[in-house]
Amino acid sequence: MKFADLHLHTQFSDGTFTPEELVLHAQKQGLACIALTDHDTVEGCARAATACAAVQMEFIPGAELTAEHADTEVHILGYFLDTQNSVLLEKIARFQAVRQNRIREMVAALNQLGIPLQAGAVFALANCKSPGRPHVARALVKEKFIANIDEAFERYLKKGRPAWVPKTKMSALEGVGLIHQAGGLAIMAHPGLNRTDAIIPDLVDAGLDGIECFHTKHSTVMSERYLEIAEKHHLLVTGGSDCHGFSKKTPLIGTVRVPYAYVEKLKAKVAERKL
Ligand SMILES: [Zn+2]
Ligand SMILES: [Zn+2]
């Protein structure tokens, strides 16, 4: 039986693997297909595609967009994206600028708290265009301002903590439209994590193609519940580990995997769109 892990991050956002390392780990896990879904970027896709081709692994170019709807943060996965699509690249650049400004604001808040972290240190560590809170946390640990990443979130960076800064996000409807115009499928990521159930019908109306039913942080009960919701709305089903490399003690890649039949359904939908 063939399996796929459809939710993976690299150094092009907040993962620790290079695209090549990611593919190596995918190979070790015996995966037949992977999708790269870095936050607000498709930059790692070309290298991941090349690395996959070298080992005859199927590759799906993707991204994970941070969006919101009705005051709810929602992550939208785009699959089979045209990574050269100019509208997509332009919007992505704008949201990367938002991310970079947010880093500066978080660092300023930390400075106010008497922690002399510098934004430059975070950017140097992140070394990508889509920096995020995990990079601030890692910089705090690296500079020995705090013992570990969990504590950095707990004390400073979590929502409601003193260095938390709200993020300007695109609307979910805009996100779905953006993915579609770049030839991709729009899938709601980890609904169990963001508690986005209430907004599913609105997104379905906007053309949402599917739900990520299987995810590292979904319990079996949750997965079953989302499978039911997907069936009810005639949505596609996806799943993945949301691996960020060694930002967790052991890489999660392959720990959540879906049978290849789910990938075939995604491909059928993309092909149907192109007709
Ligand atoms: Zn996410
Ligand atoms: Zn993710």
For residues 251 and 31, give the distance between their C-alpha atoms in angstroms, rounded to a whole number: 14
3-state secondary structure of 6: strand
54 CA → ligand 2 middle, Å: 25
> What spacing in Å lies between the alpha carbon of 7 and ligand 1's midpoint?
9
Match 């699509």 to its residue by tokens. Answer: 85
Given a contact cutoff of 8 angstroms between Cβ atoms, the answer to whether 8 and 253 are in contact is yes
Strand 58-69 and strand 72-79: the pairing is: antiparallel
The answer to whether 17 touches 11, Cβ cutoff 8 Å, is yes
Strands 33-36 and 3-8: parallel
Q: Determine the distance separating the centroid of ligand 1 and the alpha carbon of 121, expressed in angstroms.
A: 25
pLDDT for the residue 249: 76
- Report the pLDDT averaged over residues 13-40: 97
The span from the CA of 41 to the CA of 47, in Å, is 13
> What's 149-210 look like in SS3?
HHHHHHHHHCCCCCCCCCCCCEEHHHHHHHHHHCCCEEEECCHHHHCCHHHHHHHHHCCCCE
User: For residue 75, how far is its CA from the centre of ligand 1 (angstroms)?
Assistant: 5
Centre of ligand 2 from the C-alpha of residue 66, in Å: 10
Ligand lying nearest the CA atom of residue 76: 1
Instruction: Encode pLDDT of 31-50 as tens digits.
Output: 999 999 999 999 999 999 99
- Average pLDDT rounded to a whole number, residues 102-127: 97
The pLDDT of residue 8: 98
- Distance (Å, rounded) from C-alpha 242 to C-alpha 239? 9
Which ligand is closest in space to the CA of residue 242? 2
Local confidence band at 168 (pLDDT 50, 70, 90 cut-offs):
confident
Q: What are phi and psi of 188, to 5 degrees?
A: -75, 120
Rounded to an integer, what distance in angstroms lies between the CA atom of residue 231 and that of residue 237? Answer: 9
With tokens 């995604």, the residue in question is 266
Distance CA 52, CA 23 (A): 6
Distance (Å, whole) CA 267 – CA 255: 23
Q: What is the pLDDT of residues 116-134, one digit of tens each?
A: 999 999 999 999 999 999 9
pTM: 0.93
The residues, any chain, with a CB within 8 Å of residue 35's CB and separated by 6 or more, are 4, 5, 6, 7, 8, 59, 60, 61, 62, 77, 79, 240
Residue 244: nearest ligand to its CA? 2
- Closest by Cα among 227, 207, 239 to 34: 239
Mean pLDDT of 156-167: 94
CA dist., res. 184 & res. 177, Å (int): 10
Mean pLDDT, the chain, integer:
96
Stretch 189-215: mean pLDDT, rounded? 96
Cα 189 to middle of ligand 1, angstroms:
6
Confirm if 269 and 237 have CB atoms less than 8 A apart.
no
Q: Would you place residue 194 in the very low, low, confident or very high pLDDT band (cuts 50, 70, 90)?
A: confident
The pLDDT value recorded for residue 81 is 98
Band the pLDDT of 160: cuts 50, 70, 90.
very high
Query: Nearest ligand, CA of residue 252?
Result: 2
Residues with CB in 5 Å of ion ligand 2: 64, 242
Q: How far is the CA of 112 from the centre of ligand 2 (A)?
A: 30
- A 10 A CB-CB count for 134 gives 21
Q: In 10 A of CB 248, how many CB atoms?
A: 13
Calculate how far, in angstroms, residue 235's C-alpha sits from the geometric centre of ligand 2: 20
Q: Near ion ligand 1, which residues have CB within 5 Å?
A: 75, 189
Where do we find the tokens 């609307």?
Answer: 171
pLDDT digits (tens, 9 = 90+) for 48-100: 999 999 999 999 999 999 999 999 999 999 999 999 999 999 999 999 999 99
Q: Do residues 234 and 204 make contact, with C-beta atoms less than 8 angstroms apart?
A: no
